[in-house]
């Protein structure tokens, strides 16, 4: 019997789709988390947690195309958890340090631009990285952060001015 053209291929399973998503998006997500946290180990763990959350909520996803957006949100929320725990640790040890606290190796490897970004308060840092590294729109960034579009606009604008002062202090026009 000839094989019909309209034979429907079996739908990929959840694990097969998750594996595809993992290979396609993991590196980008780890780098986004690294930009937010300044620590590669923490960044890897946050992304791993995001994929675990994705698996456990698979049935509630609207469709597989919404998975990258879900993962991005999960990573940002995971990063916020890390920020919070760092603050707890810092308060406990009475050794307040700038957040994030990159490892010595990471400091050496960090570029000027990442070092400047790491000096931003957490929400501004998230706005900048989501807008200019993840290339999200203001609306998408607002959805990921759970804030209004106006907050994204104002936080991003203030962050840009602050970064311009740090990265390009000679460009007085930007800083004016």
Partner 1 sequence: MSSPLDDFAARLSTRLHESLDAVPVDGLPWVDAQPRAVERARRRRRFWAKASASVLAATAAVTVVIVVAQPGGRRPVTPTQPQILKVLATAAVGGTDPAELAAGGGWVFAGLWDSGQLLRLDPTTLNTTATLQVGTARTGPLSVAYGAGAAWVLNIADAGLWRVDPATMTATLKVTLPGQPSQVAVGDDAVWVTVCCTSVDDSTRQRLLRIDPATGAITGSHVVAGDGETVPLAIGPDIVVTSHNGPVLVIDPNTMNVVRTLPDLCAGCEETAGLVAGDRGMYVTSAASVVRYDPKSGHLLATSPDIPDIDAPLSVQPDGIWFSGTGRVLRLDPTSLAITAQAPVAASAYLVELAHSIYVSLQGTIDKLGPAN
Sequence-separated (6 or more) residues with CB below 8 Å from residue 83: 37, 99, 100, 122
Is position 128 an interface residue for partner 1 (rule: CB under 8 A)?
yes
- Minimum CB separation of residue 8 from partner 1 in Å reads 26
Query: How far is the C-alpha of 116 from the C-alpha of 41, rounded, in Å?
Result: 20
Neighbours of 11 (CB within 10 A): 8
Where in 38-97 is the site for partner 1 (CB under 8 A)?
40, 44-45, 48-53, 55-57, 60, 70, 73-78, 80-81, 83-84, 87-88, 91
> How many residues at the interface with partner 1, by CB under 8 A?
68
Residue found by looking up tokens 């000679």 in the block: 170
Neighbours of 141 (CB within 10 A): 25
Is position 166 an interface residue for partner 1 (rule: CB under 8 A)?
no
Sequence-separated (6 or more) residues with CB below 8 Å from residue 99: 83, 86, 87, 90, 122
Question: Which of 41, 113, 139, 154 is in the footprint of partner 1 by CB under 8 A?
Answer: 113
Q: Which residues bind partner 1 (CB under 8 A)?
A: 15, 18-19, 22-23, 26-27, 30-32, 34-35, 40, 44-45, 48-53, 55-57, 60, 70, 73-78, 80-81, 83-84, 87-88, 91, 109-111, 113-114, 117, 121-123, 128-129, 131-133, 135, 146-148, 151, 157, 160-161, 163-164, 167-168, 171, 173-174
């Amino acid at each position: 019997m000839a094989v019909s053209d309209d034979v429907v291929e079996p739908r990929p399973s959840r694990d097969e789709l998750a594996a595809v998503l993992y290979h396609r998006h993991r590196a980008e997500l780890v780098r986004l988390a690294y930009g937010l946290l300044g620590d590669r180990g923490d960044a890897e763990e946050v992304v791993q947690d995001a994929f675990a959350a994705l698996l456990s909520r698979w049935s509630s996803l609207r469709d597989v195309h919404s998975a990258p957006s879900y993962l991005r949100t999960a990573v940002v929320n995971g990063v916020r958890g890390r920020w919070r725990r760092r603050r707890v640790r810092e308060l406990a040890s009475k050794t307040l340090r700038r957040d994030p606290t990159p490892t010595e190796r990471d400091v050496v490897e960090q570029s000027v631009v990442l070092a400047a970004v790491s000096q931003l308060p957490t929400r501004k840092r998230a706005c900048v990285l989501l807008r200019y590294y993840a290339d999200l729109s203001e609306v998408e960034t607002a959805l990921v952060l759970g804030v209004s579009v106006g907050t994204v606009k104002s936080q991003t604008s203030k962050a840009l001015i602050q970064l311009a002062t740090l990265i390009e202090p000679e460009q007085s026009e930007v800083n004016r």
